[in-house]
């Protein structure tokens, strides 16, 4: 495919995202239409007892908002691609009546503190040129009011709300205000490379999206960009090891949205995503299971895919559209190192075995030795994270020894593992180790 990922292939993936977003919108809008017509709401099509993994419900407000965000992300292609322009227009007109429905207007009146959340789909449509004076008038009255109250919010939620105001007004907030908002979020702190939860990592991705306005504007970062990229690399490693391709796609937009050159880890992560999408015809969400899907009647396969995976495909669309911006496409493959030192062959045996290996393992095996060597820090991060998750301090110690010998001692996972080992040693010196699991941990 050349030095960078083929533009036509990225556009193909955007088409897939638009198609799946349209199918999800059709499901929720049809359901709302039946409800408004007084028909009895249909039950979930998938019986829970038939599934080992619970699938997500399709929540109308969430689907409509995320689909409208996808349209705003791909709008940069509207002038150069007639098919994209037609798809955007068709989906926008499908969303608009429901984004401005009577139930949305009532929700704005009843819950003014959440007005921006309820009006998010409308706000993105306005930015695309699909206006509506009635809902704008109501929203303006609410936002200019003084007695609407304000619920407690996390810093990232404050940033999101200010971003929505920007999108709606078409302006930009004061640079100092923007900097202070970002400085209060999780972007200002190191990620826990050993124990960060999916919630922690999703919070990071949302800050990147909202602070950069989907890559449209530079961000005044609260710490060095090199640190943020190190954290993003470690987060991508954790996401692909958990086979959470939904989270992987969101993490990968860190590079194009912040204007960073793609790292070897990010390049590899994009390859894993694209391979899974090509294999199944869509990006599988974290709750999607091929065996569970096969247990269902064929008529329910579409419903199951949408409920478990529509969001993963929408964010893949975000990623590909942002990557198409000038100079931001991912490399076609992991850049090989000039020479093979054998470092990766010392690290991979340290990976604590899994009952079911994630997708990245097969993708990794298809790389040549020089490309695998370029992912040594990725492998060490995973070895340390896996060892720490099962409290194997002896394995953490061995990973640190090999990492130090191989010159891989400057990443966040290495530094945090070293701190963990010190704490465990202190714990042992204090005589805390009576329980069997603690004794094993300090062995």
Give the separation between CA 73 and CA 75, rounded to whole angstroms: 6
Give the separation between CA 142 and CA 115, rounded to whole angstroms: 8
Q: What angle do CA 17, 266, 330 make, to 5 degrees?
A: 60
Which pairs from 171-174 meet CB under 8 Å and 24+ separation? 172/217
Give the separation between CA 415 and CA 400, rounded to whole angstroms: 9
Structure pTM?
Answer: 0.92
Are the CB atoms for 318 and 214 separated by under 8 Å?
Answer: yes
pLDDT of residue 146: 63
pLDDT of residue 37: 63
Sign of the torsion angle spanned by Cα atoms 160, 162, 163, 165? positive
Q: pLDDT of the chain along its 443 residues, tens only?
A: 459 999 999 999 999 999 999 999 999 998 877 666 665 544 455 554 444 434 568 999 999 999 999 999 998 888 888 888 999 999 999 999 999 999 999 999 999 999 999 999 999 999 999 999 999 999 999 988 766 677 888 999 999 999 999 999 888 888 898 999 999 999 999 999 999 999 999 999 999 999 999 999 999 999 999 999 999 999 999 999 999 999 999 999 999 999 999 999 999 999 999 999 999 999 999 999 999 899 888 988 999 999 999 999 999 999 999 999 878 999 999 999 877 788 999 999 999 878 789 999 999 999 999 999 999 999 999 999 999 999 999 999 999 999 999 999 999 999 999 999 999 989 888 877 544 444 444 44
| Distance (Å) of CA 307 to CA 139, 198, 317, 348 | 31, 19, 17, 36
Helix axis angle for 225-241 and 198-212, nearest 10°, is: 130
Give the separation between CA 241 and CA 386, rounded to whole angstroms: 9
| Distance (Å) of CA 270 to CA 44, 169, 257, 276, 331 | 33, 34, 15, 10, 9
Give the separation between CA 96 and CA 100, rounded to whole angstroms: 6
The position carrying tokens 């090891």 is 241
Are the CB atoms for 276 and 284 separated by under 8 Å?
Answer: yes
Q: Element (H or E) spanning 166, and its range? A: helix 155-169
Q: If DSSP codes are grouped into helix, strand and coil, which group holds residue 327? A: coil
Q: What share of the chain is helix, strand, coil (3-state, %, to 5)?
A: 65, 0, 35
Which tokens go with 222? 């609260």
Give the separation between CA 211 and CA 163, rounded to whole angstroms: 7
Residue 227 burial by Cβ neighbours in a 10 Å radius (0-12, 13-18, 19+):
middle
Give the separation between CA 403 and CA 399, rounded to whole angstroms: 6
Q: If DSSP codes are grouped into helix, strand and coil, which group holds residue 4? A: strand
Q: What angle do CA 89, 107, 91 make, to 5 degrees?
A: 10
pLDDT of residue 443: 43
pLDDT of residue 80: 85
Give CA torsion, residues 384, 390, 393, 395, to 10 deg.
-50
Other beta carbons less than 10 A from residue 266's beta carbon: 25
Which tokens go with 92? 């926008």
Are the CB atoms for 387 and 395 separated by under 8 Å?
Answer: yes
Give the separation between CA 438 and CA 431, rounded to whole angstroms: 11
Per residue, what are the HEC states of 368-433?
A: CHHHHHCCHHHHHHHHHHHHHHCCCHHHHHHHHHHHHHCCCCCCHHHHHHHHHHHHHHHHHHCCCC
Are the CB atoms for 21 and 313 separated by under 8 Å?
Answer: yes
Q: Residue 75: beta bridge partners?
A: none
Residues 6 or more apart in contact with residue 236 via CB below 8 angstroms: 248, 251, 252, 265, 266, 269
pLDDT of residue 234: 98
pLDDT of residue 338: 77
Are the CB atoms for 1 and 332 separated by under 8 Å?
Answer: yes
Helix axis angle for 393-405 and 376-389, nearest 10°, is: 160
């Amino acid at each position: 495919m050349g030095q960078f990922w083929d533009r036509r292939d990225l556009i193909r993936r955007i088409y897939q995202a638009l198609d799946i977003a349209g199918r999800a919108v059709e499901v929720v809008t049809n359901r709302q239409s039946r409800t408004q017509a007084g028909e009895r709401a249909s039950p979930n099509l998938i019986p829970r007892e038939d599934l080992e993994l619970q699938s997500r419900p399709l929540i109308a407000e969430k689907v409509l908002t995320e689909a409208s965000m996808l349209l705003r992300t791909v709008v940069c292609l509207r002038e150069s691609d007639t098919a994209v322009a037609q798809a955007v227009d068709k989906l926008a007109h499908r969303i608009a009546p429901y984004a401005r429905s009577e139930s949305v207007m009532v929700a704005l009146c009843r819950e003014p503190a959440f007005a921006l959340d309820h009006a998010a789909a409308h706000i993105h449509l306005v930015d695309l040129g699909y206006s509506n004076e009635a809902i704008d008038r109501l929203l303006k009255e609410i936002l200019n009011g003084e007695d609407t109250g304000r619920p407690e919010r996390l810093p990232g939620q404050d940033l999101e709300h200010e971003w929505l105001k920007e999108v709606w007004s078409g302006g930009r907030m004061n640079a100092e205000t923007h900097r202070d908002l970002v400085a209060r979020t999780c972007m200002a702190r190191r990620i826990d490379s050993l124990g960060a939860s999916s919630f922690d990592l999703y919070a990071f991705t949302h800050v990147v999206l909202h602070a950069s306005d989907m890559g449209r504007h530079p961000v005044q970062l609260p710490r060095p960009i090199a640190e943020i990229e190190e954290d993003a690399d470690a987060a991508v490693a954790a996401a692909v090891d958990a086979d959470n391709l939904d989270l992987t796609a969101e993490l990968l937009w860190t590079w194009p949205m912040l204007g960073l050159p793609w790292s070897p880890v990010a390049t590899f992560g994009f390859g894993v995503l694209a391979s899974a999408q090509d294999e199944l015809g869509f990006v599988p969400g974290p709750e999607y299971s091929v065996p569970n899907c096969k247990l269902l009647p064929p008529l329910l396969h579409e419903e199951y895919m949408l409920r478990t995976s529509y969001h993963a495909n929408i964010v893949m669309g975000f990623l590909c559209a942002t990557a198409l911006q000038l100079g931001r496409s991912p490399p076609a493959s992991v850049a090989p190192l000039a020479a093979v030192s054998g470092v990766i062959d010392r690290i991979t045996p340290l990976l604590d075995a899994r009952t079911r290996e994630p997708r990245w393992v097969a993708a990794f095996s298809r790389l040549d030795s020089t490309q695998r060597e370029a992912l040594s820090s990725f492998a060490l991060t995973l070895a340390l994270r896996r060892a720490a998750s099962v409290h194997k301090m002896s394995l953490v110690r061995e990973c640190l020894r090999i990492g130090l010998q191989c010159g891989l001692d400057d990443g966040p996972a290495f530094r945090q593992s070293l701190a963990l080992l010190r704490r465990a040693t202190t714990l042992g010196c204090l005589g805390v180790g009576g329980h069997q699991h603690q004794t094993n941990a300090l062995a």
